[in-house]
Structure 1
Amino acid sequence: MLAGVTFLSETQAFGETSRDLSPDTWIETDVWRSLAQAERIEDFGRAWIGLLSRAHDSILRSALLLGAPERGPFELVARFPEAADGDSLPADVATVLDLASRRRRPAIEGGGELPARIAYPLLFGELLHGAILIEARPLDPAGIRQLIRHLQWSAAGVEAFLSRSATKQNSTSADVARFLIGVVDALAAAQGGVDAARLLSNLIARRLECDSTAVGRYHGKRSRLIALSQTAAIDRRSTLARALEAAQDEAIDQGSAVLVPPPATSSPLLTRAHQSLSKQFDGAHILTIPLVADNEAVGAITLRRGGRAFTQDEIVLVDAVGAAVGSLLDEKWRLDRSLPALAAERAGAVLGKLMGPRHLMLKLTTAVSIAAALYLAFGTSDYRVRAKAQVQGEIRRLVAAPFDGYIRAQFARAGDVVPEGFVLAELQDNDLVLERLRQISKKRQYQLELDKALAKRDLAETNIARAQIEQADAEIDLSDQMIARAQLKAPFAAVVVSGDLSQSVGKPVSRGDVVFEIAPLDRYRVTAVVPEAEIRLVTPGQSGELLLSALPDRTFPMVIGSVTRVAQASEGVNGFEAIGSVDSKDPSVRPGMEGVVKIEAGRRNVAWIWFHPLVDWLRIKIWALIP
């Protein structure tokens, strides 16, 4: 017992079997028929609560409350007797209802000698759908349990009606969904906007059994008739077309569906154009639904039907169709126009955004684009021709074998930096030394012969001996020079470009064979292979900058000295050699290093600098394609 309210458990409430109740003679056949065929919850509740209350003698008053499962609010659907005044519940009855709803069990107040107030919660599928309120005559506990059993059995009828309504509603929703999907698919497959509008008008007219259905497009602040059901051609100058367009304008201007004749509970709307259209067809029912895309009206659908008014479900269906196909029809209508019209509209839309108060990012992007275009069109900059380059020595000296011989030793190899006079390698000079000794011996012999001739005072022999001695001296000098040449020396401070005899000691060489190549350390030249498309821009005397792959942190100035006119291929690019000089005392620079050279070709327009390779390529391709 809580505040005079008793909560019964399921066992207490339904533990005993109630007595069989025979139908009273007052129950008529039409009441049961109304109960079985009721479509609205109000009609069902009125019949059901009457049968419930009259079937038990102790019930004085009763009420049926229903609402959204679990959420509520639970509102009064029907009461017995119907003549009771007011729609609100007494405070004490509301308290019992609240307790029963929270505890999800029957709640009872009173009993014994006092009238009993019972709140029976309607729990279907563990969800609270509402409650039954009963005020009965004073009853003993057994009578109360019997009354609750009666409520339990009767609640099954409410559950059956709700299940039937839910099943019917789901079936209707599924049918509407299939129709909407079919309409969207059909319109998406249509070739153009006019075909899609004609197909839509025919589908809706067939679905709702309308006499005619018209589809119009809203553009330029007015409607324009596009399609009429079961009609291939439309005369827009006819009275009917103008009346339809006026009705569609009327609905679009008000932003709402317009129905004529209007229902009694509808809000007041302007319907002059619809009434005029209805009079043309002897008071036919007219319904116009706006077509909306992106929260803006793009058209309207006008339906005409004689004899039977449009139901709320039909209005909802047409409104759903309009919401589903509005964007699709608008896109197809836009695509039906010519390219100049589309371009003009897009340009106008962009211009409107630029001149309007919003779209800051678009305005910034446009301003930057205009500034970039002006810079490309009128700006100038230094243009530099790029080319692959290689550092070479300005002088390249060959160190060759002075005579036939053999390699005795080597003291330098390719890449070594050597000072002036450094011995690069030596040839074997044993034969030269022996030959010198032989010449010295012969000179001594000639000297003895000269002494004998002087002693004899023989002038002829003396001259002969002196000549032989001079010949011997010459041969001895030659031998000395050949012995000195056996040492291959650097004529100046240089870097050894090529030559490695470390694996060739003892190898025979012939006179004139190149043994080393050397280049000076302080004078270089740069050979750049300029692409043939840019060679016309390169002339002797132009300056440039050289960046070496081995020294990417600094550049070296250079001057073009000459440009060869003989083409050569380098890395798949046909080009010409431009030879320039670079004055660098940097010891890091070595012949053979490669890099990139940029040759100053004067000031040019920025757009030309960026796009002239593409323009030249297009010129060649187009010229090649022209017959």
Structure 2
Amino acid sequence: MSSSSYSFSPQQAGLSSGVGGPSGRAHDDALWGAFASAQTAAEFCRSWLSLQCVQVVDVHSAMLLLEQDSGTFVPAAVWPSAQTDVTYLAPAAQQCLSERRGMLLPGQPGAPVIVAYPVELDGRVHGAVVLDVAERSEEALQAVLRQLHWGIGWIETLFLRRQGLDDAQTLERARAALDIQAVAAEHARLEPLAMALVNDLASRFGCDRVSLGIDRQGRARLLAISHSAFFEKKSQFVTALENAMDEALDQRRSVAFPIIDEEANGIAIAHRDFAAARAVCSVVLSSRGVGVGVLTFERDDGRSFDAEEVRTFEAVSTLLGPVLDDRIERHRWFAGRLVDQLRAWWAHFKDSRRPAFRVGVVLALLLVLGVFSLDGEYRVSARAVVEGEVQRAAVAPFDGFLREAPVRAGFVVKQGQVLATLDDRDLLVERQRWLSEREQHQGRYRDALAKHERANANVSLAQMQEAESQLALVDEKLARASIVAPFDGVVVSGDLSQLLGSPVEQGKLLFELAPLDAYRVILKVDDRDIGDVRVGQSGSLVLTGLTGEVLDFEVRNLSMAEPEDGRNVFRVEAQLARSDLKLRPGMEGVGKIKVGEQTYAWIWTHRLTDWLRMQAWTWLP
């Protein structure tokens, strides 16, 4: 119980001092003085029970039972003296505790009545008071019960004060733990965290030295000592300190020397050897049920660590354990983590209770061996576009104006179908002009022949032939004013529906046409893979619009490189194996060219290794 003082006055208790002569009052005053000056819970209980027996009068013996931390009920006070045999009161106390009410029970011969009353707080029984009183009337016995009921209020106050003190101590421990965790959380790296932590703990708890060790393969290794930037790892002091840390780490419990509690303290041999004349306490920092470190506190001033301080250290270690574990994981290199993981896998593999794990490991090993030993078909992937095998251009035959354009890109046309028509009104006028000139020159030619003017006849004949040539040229233009499809196909490009009436120049591209039964595939191969592509290689193609059908092709030509989307690609022409497909020029997909056989490991990693070689060539001198 707590050693806090329990001081009050008789008036506060609500109890009157005993009546009688001067000796009775002096005795009562002595009891009240002892009650008022009680410094411990044991003194408080003894003086309280004595006052109750004096107030009740004619009490042969009495006992106060209170609950201990272990949940058992033990005598906290016995009256009239600590040597009084009160074992015969135990059955009455047990019955009172089980029924949780005040009761009057017949006593042994010579002890007519036993009065028992429970000590209850917040619906929970904390003990009982049992009095062996002289025989008296029923009314007097009820007065005894009332007296005990009022007096037990002070016992309840004892529990309330003790609970309040425990709550305050718990709150103080939690506050200290949170403050220290905040200090630790400010540092992202392990070494600065350890140094800041031990310095703060040493100042906060008045220790001469605080050390932090971390678990390395089951052994504690010293990481930081408060107010010490460096320490000799192989020194005798460090070895003794690490042995003390190992002792706490192996037992997974706090160890203090001098020993506070034999049962709770555990083995402290290494602490005794390390402490000498100092006080030493080590607490284990745990994370996920595993000890990750040890904090060791030292004092050289002769003050030992008490139980409350150890509980505070343990509260601090509970919050610091996960933080320290996280920093240790960040601090370790990849190789260290990999070794730990491999060690854990090996332990699982040897465990006969994990047959599924063994089967999984064996299958994984077989898969890895297959990847590095088995060959597979290596194919070069590239974006593919379908084009017409033949593309015909429809251009403007002469300078003129666009009159009609009934088709546009995407239209399927027949051979001889009109694609566009140019305005021929100027040509018709010009034709009439040349017809007139030809008639005039023909008349002059006949007149010259009739007059036998040979020179004039030759001139007129030449002019007449010129007019006929011009007339033939105009007729040819009129015949070509209607632009028609040269074959059955699809209009690949060209839309003149918005340009009617606009002028067109001779040779201007108006339409592009492709046949419907002859296609080729253009594969855009990355320059990293072009070295593996050869003419005559076969492959497969899947188009976005025909995902359910795989089309075979054969490489026919490797063209020049061209930039595309920031990459350098080569145009590779391929011929489809089938011509009975409903394809349209411009359809896209993904083609794969069969290059040869390689191991699966090489197929999946060759681009990475090629990139690494290129980077090494770029950066190495």
| TM-score band, normalised by shorter chain | 0.5 to 0.7
* Structure 1 match to 2:593: 599
1:157 paired with 2:151, answer: no
Q: CA, structure 1 residues 543+137, in 2 after alignment: closer, same or farther (shift >3 Å)?
A: same
Report the Cα distance in structure 2 between the residues aligned to 1:572 and 1:223, rounded to whole angstroms: 57
1:552 paired with 2:547, answer: yes
1:291 paired with 2:276, answer: no
Deviations 1:551-586 (A, max 9, x none): 333233333322233x43333433332233335434
* Structure 1 match to 2:52: 52
Give 1 or 2 for the bigger CA radius of gyration.
1
Deviations 1:531-569 (A, max 9, x none): 33333333333333333333333233333322233x433
Q: CA, structure 1 residues 136+225, in 2 after alignment: closer, same or farther (shift >3 Å)?
A: same
* Structure 1 match to 2:519: 524
Instruction: Using the TM superposition, give the Cα deviation of residue 589 of structure 1 relative to its aligned residue in structure 2, in angstroms.
Output: 1.4
The percentage of aligned residue pairs carrying the same residue is 29
Which residues of 2 match residues 71-470 of structure 1 at below 5 A?
76-82=75-81, 83-87=83-87, 89=89, 91=91, 95=95, 98-99=98-99, 101=100, 106-108=102-104, 117-124=114-121, 128-140=125-137, 143-144=140-141, 146-177=143-174, 191=191, 206=206, 277=273, 291=284, 293=286, 294-295=289-290, 301=296, 348=343, 351-357=346-352, 370=365, 373-400=368-395, 412-424=407-419
Alignment-mate amino acid for residue 46 of structure 2: R
* Structure 2 match to 1:65: 65
Structure 1 range deviating more: 617-626 or 297-306? 297-306
Alignment-mate amino acid for residue 535 of structure 1: I
1:562 paired with 2:557, answer: yes
- List alignment gaps of at least 5 residues for structure 1: 1-16, 454-459
Instruction: Using the TM superposition, give the Cα deviation of residue 22 of structure 1 relative to its aligned residue in structure 2, in angstroms.
Output: 3.3
Alignment-mate amino acid for residue 77 of structure 2: A
Instruction: Using the TM superposition, give the Cα deviation of residue 52 of structure 1 relative to its aligned residue in structure 2, in angstroms.
Output: 1.3
- Contact 1:248 1:302 survives alignment (8 Å): no
Q: CA, structure 1 residues 96+530, in 2 after alignment: closer, same or farther (shift >3 Å)?
A: closer
Instruction: Using the TM superposition, give the Cα deviation of residue 48 of structure 1 relative to its aligned residue in structure 2, in angstroms.
Output: 1.7
- Tell me, what secondary structure is at the counterpart of 1:169? helix
- List alignment gaps of at least 5 residues for structure 2: 1-13
Which residues of 2 match residues 571-590 of structure 1 at below 5 A?
571-586=565-580, 588-590=582-584
Report the Cα distance in structure 1 between the residues aligned to 2:169 and 2:119, rounded to whole angstroms: 26
Report the Cα distance in structure 1 between the residues aligned to 2:509 and 2:261, rounded to whole angstroms: 118
Instruction: Using the TM superposition, give the Cα deviation of residue 53 of structure 1 relative to its aligned residue in structure 2, in angstroms.
Output: 0.3
Alignment-mate amino acid for residue 588 of structure 1: K
- Contact 2:17 2:29 survives alignment (8 Å): no
Instruction: Using the TM superposition, give the Cα deviation of residue 431 of structure 1 relative to its aligned residue in structure 2, in angstroms.
Output: 6.7
* Structure 2 match to 1:543: 538
Alignment-mate amino acid for residue 159 of structure 2: L
Report the Cα distance in structure 2 between the residues aligned to 1:503 and 1:244, rounded to whole angstroms: 93
- Tell me, what secondary structure is at the counterpart of 1:592? coil
- Tell me, what secondary structure is at the counterpart of 2:51? helix
Report the Cα distance in structure 2 between the residues aligned to 1:399 and 1:213, rounded to whole angstroms: 93
Report the Cα distance in structure 2 between the residues aligned to 1:63 and 1:116, rounded to whole angstroms: 14
Instruction: Using the TM superposition, give the Cα deviation of residue 257 of structure 1 relative to its aligned residue in structure 2, in angstroms.
Output: 6.8
1:492 paired with 2:491, answer: no
Q: CA, structure 1 residues 488+228, in 2 after alignment: closer, same or farther (shift >3 Å)?
A: closer
Deviations 1:231-250 (A, max 9, x none): 98679675x88777777777
Structure 1 range deviating more: 523-532 or 72-81? 72-81
- Contact 1:187 1:200 survives alignment (8 Å): no
Deviations 1:429-484 (A, max 9, x none): 96799799999999x99xx99xxx9xxxxxx9xxx9xx99xx99x99999998776
Report the Cα distance in structure 2 between the residues aligned to 1:192 and 1:501, rounded to whole angstroms: 76
Q: CA, structure 1 residues 326+305, in 2 after alignment: closer, same or farther (shift >3 Å)?
A: farther
Q: CA, structure 1 residues 92+414, in 2 after alignment: closer, same or farther (shift >3 Å)?
A: closer
Deviations 1:133-160 (A, max 9, x none): 3343343455345434533443343234
Instruction: Using the TM superposition, give the Cα deviation of residue 364 of structure 1 relative to its aligned residue in structure 2, in angstroms.
Output: 7.1
Instruction: Using the TM superposition, give the Cα deviation of residue 522 of structure 1 relative to its aligned residue in structure 2, in angstroms.
Output: 1.9
Q: CA, structure 1 residues 227+268, in 2 after alignment: closer, same or farther (shift >3 Å)?
A: closer
Alignment-mate amino acid for residue 53 of structure 2: S
* Structure 2 match to 1:10: none
Alignment-mate amino acid for residue 50 of structure 1: S
Instruction: Using the TM superposition, give the Cα deviation of residue 50 of structure 1 relative to its aligned residue in structure 2, in angstroms.
Output: 1.7
Structure 1 range deviating more: 388-397 or 18-27? 18-27
Q: CA, structure 1 residues 421+221, in 2 after alignment: closer, same or farther (shift >3 Å)?
A: closer
- Contact 2:63 2:86 survives alignment (8 Å): no
- Contact 2:202 2:226 survives alignment (8 Å): yes
- Contact 2:254 2:284 survives alignment (8 Å): no
Q: CA, structure 1 residues 30+287, in 2 after alignment: closer, same or farther (shift >3 Å)?
A: farther
Q: CA, structure 1 residues 288+72, in 2 after alignment: closer, same or farther (shift >3 Å)?
A: closer
- Tell me, what secondary structure is at the counterpart of 1:545? strand
Deviations 1:333-368 (A, max 9, x none): 899889877776665455445445567787677666
Deviations 1:394-426 (A, max 9, x none): 222334566777777666543333333445556
Q: CA, structure 1 residues 500+434, in 2 after alignment: closer, same or farther (shift >3 Å)?
A: farther
- Tell me, what secondary structure is at the counterpart of 2:148? helix
Alignment-mate amino acid for residue 54 of structure 1: V
- Contact 1:176 1:317 survives alignment (8 Å): yes
Alignment-mate amino acid for residue 57 of structure 1: V
Instruction: Using the TM superposition, give the Cα deviation of residue 119 of structure 1 relative to its aligned residue in structure 2, in angstroms.
Output: 3.8
* Structure 2 match to 1:6: none
- Contact 1:391 1:591 survives alignment (8 Å): yes
- Contact 2:212 2:293 survives alignment (8 Å): no
Instruction: Using the TM superposition, give the Cα deviation of residue 49 of structure 1 relative to its aligned residue in structure 2, in angstroms.
Output: 1.0
- Contact 1:93 1:117 survives alignment (8 Å): no
- Tell me, what secondary structure is at the counterpart of 1:55? helix
- Tell me, what secondary structure is at the counterpart of 1:415? coil
- Contact 2:66 2:128 survives alignment (8 Å): yes
Report the Cα distance in structure 2 between the residues aligned to 1:487 and 1:52, rounded to whole angstroms: 131
Report the Cα distance in structure 1 between the residues aligned to 2:317 and 2:158, rounded to whole angstroms: 33
Report the Cα distance in structure 2 between the residues aligned to 1:487 and 1:249, rounded to whole angstroms: 102
Report the Cα distance in structure 2 between the residues aligned to 1:509 and 1:201, rounded to whole angstroms: 92
Q: CA, structure 1 residues 89+236, in 2 after alignment: closer, same or farther (shift >3 Å)?
A: farther
Q: CA, structure 1 residues 307+509, in 2 after alignment: closer, same or farther (shift >3 Å)?
A: closer
Q: CA, structure 1 residues 543+29, in 2 after alignment: closer, same or farther (shift >3 Å)?
A: same
